[in-house]
Every structure is written in C-alpha cells, then in structure tokens.
Structure 1
Amino acid sequence: MNKTEILALLKKYQEGTLSDVDKDKLEAWYLHEALKSNKTLTEDELEKSYQHLKSKLPVYKETKVVKLWSRITVAASIVLLLGVSLFYMTESKEQKIQVVDKLDEVLPGGKKGILTLSNGKQIVLTDLSTKDTVAKEGEREEVIIKMNSKGIITYKITPNLSNIKSNSFNTLSTPVGGQYNIVLSDGTKVYLNAASSIKYPTHFNGKNRIVELEGEAYFEVVQDKNKPFIVKCAHQSIKVLGTHFNVHAYHNESVIKTTLLEGSVLITIKDQKTILKPGQQSNVLKKEDKVTVLEVDAENSVAWKNGRFKFDNTDIKTVMKQLERWYDIKVEYQGDVPNVSFSGGTFMNKNLSEVLKVLELSNIKFKREGKKVVVYP
C-alpha cells in the first residue's frame, strides 16, 4: 500500500468506520513493517510503544479492534522506532490525521576521494576495487598508480626509468564528508581530511620534494637529508627533513595551524622563520601574517585521523565548522548564542543526532531542519 491508501485506512479507523476487510489490510501493513525491521525490543519498550500509539489513535468502538491491537503490538512498536509518528491536528473543529516521517538521519562521512591526473582526467576512488591499477603517468608510463589492499593510493616508479627528468602532477581531493589516504612516490604518507586537496608530483626528481595543500592533512614524511620536504599553503610554507605533523589550512578560516608531533619543522611566512618542536603549534593569522607558537596536546589536532572529534576548550563555531565538513550540513546561529567552549569528544562514525546530543550537555540547543542545523541559546 502507498501512503495515500494508508492515510485513508487510518482516517476510517479514527472515525470508527473501518470494515473487516480494511482492518485486515491495516493489520497486514503493520505486520509488514515489523517483518522489514531488525529491531529488538524489551517487553517494557513494547508496552510503552503500544500505549503511546494507542493514545494517538482513539478507539471509538473498542470491541471492534481488540484483535487488531493484540496482534500488532510488536509491529506498532517497530513502526514507532522506524520513525513513523501518528498524530492529530485540530483545525476549525475538524480532526485530521497525518503520517509524518521522522527527519532523515544525517549519516557521518566516510572514505571518499577524487584523483585528478596530469591530463585532467578525474577518477572517483570510491568506485574502484582494491589492488586495482588506477592509472599510469609519464611519457613512457613510468609511474604506476595503484590502490593497495587497504584502499590507499600508492605510486611506483619503474626501476629502469628512475632517472627521468620529465614530471607530471596529480591532485588528490576530498569532498565534504570525505577523507582519503595516499602514499607518495618517496614513501611519505598523507592523510587528507574532508574538503581538502593536495597537489604533488608523481615522482620527486628535483632538489626539493614540494607539495601544495588546501584544507587539512597529516603528514608522515620519509626522511631524506638531501631532499627537504616542503608543504606550501596559503600564507606560509613548511620545510621538513623527516617528521610527523598536521596542517590545518582551510581557505574559509582566518588561522592556519601547524602542529608538530615528531622531529622539527621550519615555518616561513614572508621574511619570518619559526622552528617548531614536538608538542608545539604555530598559529598564523592570515590578515596580519603574524605567527604565535603555543604549547598544545598534539594528539588533539590529529584526532580526526583516528576517527574522533576531540575538543580542548574549543569554541562553538570551530566545533560546528568541523561538523559542517564531516556531515555536509549548513549551520546557522539564531539569537544570542553563548560563547561556550567544549572539551572532550566523541567518535566520528556516529550519526549527527548523536553528536549533537553530546554537545547539548554544554547547554547549547540545536534544531535540525533537513541538512540545516540551527544553533540557539
């Protein structure tokens, strides 16, 4: 049955005019919903759901529906858990019945990436099987791009052509709600966060290993004292020999953050040079080209790589920007929202509603309208 037919039956049920044939149809619908679900309820949950549904469907002739209620208790409860709410609206003394679907749950992001080759061809990585040869690059196809058993993009240089001088560039990008990992031709591992991109040569044949980043990425750079690794992004460059660090450089945020976990990095902004030590973070204000070095818990900055949201006295707008990028939502602020900060965290594989419940513990309220979240006091 479609929704219109179900509404008609429920309307008859409310009016007490449901025939035996229609009663059987309605009963079958409930039982069908139960069979489709894998939900398991306790007796207490069944009873509460039954009473709730019964209260929303007033019975005019109780004797005519006893059989129906006794047989659909489980199904009715399942329907409630599936998000089908039954309620009445009184308008101009006329009672109407509606079936309202629960707002579609907003699911977390996942592994999604797009690889753009030197010729402009784009490859959607999520459509590929593991261990596939993704593409070949170079005049003589000397660079082989593969996906390994873990779904990570890797680059391999043909041994007898390792001294070639020509080069080509690829770009790995992630959409909103996507993350992806890559191993560059020198063995450096790059973890790319949502709504980010990295441009890099298919093989490093110059004096430096240079990549360009927009967004956020965590690097585990293979050490090569003779060939520094340089990350270029808006307003700054980062030079390392071999180290682990995180760069947060989204174009729509006013601060670029570089956090060091191992080794050392040299931050260059115009004529300013700053060296970071493990556990330090440089904050660069784009408008002022000013560098501030802070002592931080570096693990908080890379929690996203390990599948967690982790906040350390983080303000509400910074938190919501993370949710926007991961859940592909739009956030709006309504009224005088308090300037609260959050500490703690939760897992990124949770649905949006679960994360919002955690944040609500800090006395912030949220209202969701589809993929829009309104924050209000």
Structure 2
Amino acid sequence: MKETEFLELLQKYQNGTLSDEDRDKLDAWYLHKASNTNSQLNEYELEDSYQYLKSTLPLQQETKVIGLWSRIAVAASIVVLLGAGIFYVTAPTEQPVEVVAKPKEIAPGGNRGILTLSNGKQIVLSDISAKDTIAKEGQENEVTIKMSADGVITYVVNPNAVEEKNGEDAFNTLSTPIGGQYNIVLADGTKVFLNAVSSIKYPTQFNGDQRIVELEGEAYFEVAKNKNQPFIVKSADQAIKVLGTHFNVHAYDNEPIIKTTLLEGSVAVTYQNQKTILKPGQQSNVTANSNKITVREVDTEAAIAWKNGRFKFDNADLKSVMKQLERWYGIKVEYRGDVSDVRFNGGTFRNKNLSEVLKVLELSNIKFKVEGKTIIVYP
C-alpha cells in the first residue's frame, strides 16, 4: 500500500466513511510493517509521532479514533515519520495487536443435480451447458432426454417407437446434493420440483396401468391428469395416489415426520393399514412410531415456499428451520442450551447469503455464532 493511500484511509476513518474492506487493508498493512522490523518507538517517540500526525491530518473528533488507535497508531506513526525522512517502526510488545478476520460469507445453493441413467451412467447437470438432447434411453432410443434453455430436464417419447414387449421399464434417478435443487418434466408431462438433498426414481416412460415414482427427501408435484393411469408417489412406508393434482411431499430420512400438503385436487394417503383423503389446504403427518395419519389445516404457501425461492415459516420450530438451512447452505448446526420452545413466523429469500438469513432469525431473540461452516445456536 502506498503512503498516500494509507493517509486517505485514515481520513476516511475520521470522516466515518471507512468501509469494512478498507479497515481490513489498514490492519493488514500495519501487521505487515510491524512484522518486518526490529525497531520500536518508545513512548515519547510514539507520542511525538502522534502529535505530528494530528498536526498533519487534523482529528477534530478525537473520540472517533480512540477505539482504532490501539490497532493503528503505530502504523500511522510509520507513515508520517517516513514522510518526514525518519524511519521508526514499532509493535508494542505489551499490547499485541490482534486482527479479527471477517467471517467468510456462506453463499446460498442453486440449480445443481445428478441424473443417473438406466445403464448407471451419471450426468452432472451443473457441469453441462443448456442444450437440446443430453441422452437417449431404450433399446431403440425411443426416449429422448432434453434440457431446456432454463435448465429443466424433459423426457420425450417417440410416438413411432415400438413399445418394448418384455414389460420391463427403464428407470432413471434425479438427485440433488446439499445446496442443490432441480426441476424435471416426466414422460407423462408431470412436473417435479426437487428440493435439496433429495432424489426421485422414475421410469423413462410409463407403461402399464399405474405411474409409480419413488421419492426420498422433498418434492413438489404437478401431476398430469390421466384417469386411466393413477400416479403414485412412494416414500418410506407411505404411498400417495392421485389422478392429477398439485401437492408437496416432505419425506427426509433424518426427520421423524412425513408431511404431504395438498394445494389442489385430492390425494389418497396410505400409511401401513391406514388411509385418508386430503382436501386442498390440508396436510397429513405420519411418523414411524405411530400407525395413525393425522390431518391438519396449514399455510400451503409455507409448505412450498422453497419451490418459489423463499424461506417462509409458519410457527415453525427452530430445529426444523435450521435443518432447512443445513441442506441449503451446507452448514453444520450445534445447539448450546434448550431451544425447544422457540418458534418462527415470517421468512426471507433463499438467494441471500446465510448471514442475512440469520439476521432475520435473530429477531426472535436467538443468537448465532459462525465458526467456519458451523453455526452455534444460543437461546
């Protein structure tokens, strides 16, 4: 850093216009100079240089530099005395300077996924540019897998292809990593929005009298209507049967409750020997330690907020909120104290850095400490 630039930074500090980035430059410059010299200013020389600095760069509000002085007084003396033709460098041994690094921002997730074909070949979707055909499936390549300009995967069945006679379907799997999400249109026209750390297994074309897919994690479905071919979503021990409707399934293996939320139409939820029909605005909950299906009215916008690029919390408990952040930002969460009674309402956008999301959550009197990619939560 040039001496003139250093003086400009000091002037900015006095004016209250010093940015965090400039503050870091100031500290780094001082540490560099202090660590590369054996010389020191004694207390009298330091005071003289400080007085000289004040006369050169008037500090009308001395209280504004008191907090900074312990960290940069020596560096200021270096610059001024260099300009006067005198070379003194100091680093007071009795009060070592410690620079606290600004935590690195943790960025949000985005469109990332892995497509596994029936032959086991994997295509990393984030590594390929948008193009038309990315693969073909079937013995006669009767199914074409395409990617649209906005990154949506679609399956197109050749209407002139001869249907396979052995009755065996070819299956593909779309999966998303931590911090990933992806959209797909199945061969029947059903749209699937896959959330982070999720996977869906499906046939490349739907033969037979049912359309069956298997889900792990979370997905939102807009099922193409077909009265003659019911659409079935299997997740753990639960099965959802629909003819054509919009619904969300939340079925992560590290969470105790499978939640199915209906937005329009109707779905039949089956769990073990129980069955229930959901109406729009309702959500079914099933747990491994119960054979009952509980149904309640919910805020459907909160259930599918992730699909619309938002975090939206409707009386959500803290740990379920933090699990969403773990999957989207790739962080680890540790708890220091009892947070079981903390609930959240409101929300923010998923395209924000983690620090901005935590600021929103702190409005509920929860404290967060960021250590690398570990978030420590205090009640």
Same fold (TM over 0.5): yes
Aligned partner of 2:345 in structure 1 is: 343
- Paired residues for 1:157-172 under 5 Å: 157-161=157-161, 163-165=163-165, 166-172=168-174
- Cα distance, 1:366 vs. partner? 0.8
The answer to whether the 8 A contact 1:231-1:237 is kept is yes
Residue 188 (str. 1) matches residue 212 (str. 2):
no
Shift of 1:182: 0.3
2:105 matches 1:101: no
Q: Is the 8 A contact 1:190 1:219 kept in 2?
A: yes
* Structure 1 residue 53, shift from structure 2 partner: 5.0
Shift of 1:149: 1.3
> Structure 2 stretches of 5 or more lacking a match?
2-26, 43-61, 84-90
The residue matched to 1:160 in structure 2 has which SS?
A: coil
> Residue deviations 1:60-105, cap 9 Å, x none?
875952898xxxxxxxxxxxxxxxxxxx9x8xx6343454432211
Paired position in structure 1 for 2:141: 141
Counterpart in 2 of 1:177?
Answer: 179
Say which of 58, 80, 84 aligns to 1:65: 80
- Mapping for residues 59-138 of structure 1, pairs under 5 Å: 59=74, 62=77, 64-65=79-80, 94-138=94-138
For 1:105, the aligned partner's letter is E
Aligned residues: 326
Secondary structure of the 1:101 match is coil
Q: Does 1:204 align with 2:228?
A: no
Q: Structure 1 stretches of 5 or more lacking a match?
A: 18-46, 69-87
Normalised by the length of structure 1, the TM-score is: 0.80
Among 282, 287, 290, the alignment partner of 1:288 is 290
Matched position secondary structure for 1:58 = helix
- Mapped partners of 2:341, 2:153: distance in 1: 41
Distance 2:75 2:313 in 1: 54
TM-score (normalizing by structure 2)? 0.79
Q: Please show how residues 189-338 of structure 1 align to structure 2 within 5 Å.
A: 189-337=191-339
Q: How much has 1:50 moved relative to structure 2?
A: 8.2
Instruction: Please give the per-residue CA displacement for 1:245-285, whole angstroms capped at 9, x wherever unaligned.
Output: 00000001110000000100000112211000100000111
**Whole-angstrom CA distance in 1 between matches of 2:75 and 2:253:** 62
Q: Which whole-Å CA distance do the structure 2 matches of 1:295 and 1:372 have between them?
A: 35
* SS of residue in 2 equivalent to 1:65: helix
Maintained 8 Å contact 1:15/1:60: no
Cα separation, partners in 2 of 1:254 and 1:15, compared to 1, 3 Å: same
Residue identity opposite 1:288 in structure 2: S
Query: How far 1:164 moved relative to its partner?
Result: 3.2
Shift of 1:196: 0.2
Distance 2:116 2:73 in 1: 60
Root-mean-square deviation (Å) = 2.9
From the superposition, tell whether residues 50 and 190 of structure 1 become closer, same or farther in structure 2 (CA, over 3 Å): farther
- From the CA coordinates, give the structure whose radius of gyration is larger: 2
Aligned 8 A contact 1:135 1:145 in 2: yes
Instruction: Kindly provide the amino acid, as one letter, of the partner of residue 358 in structure 2.
Output: L
Amino acid at match of 1:192: L
Q: Percent identity?
A: 65
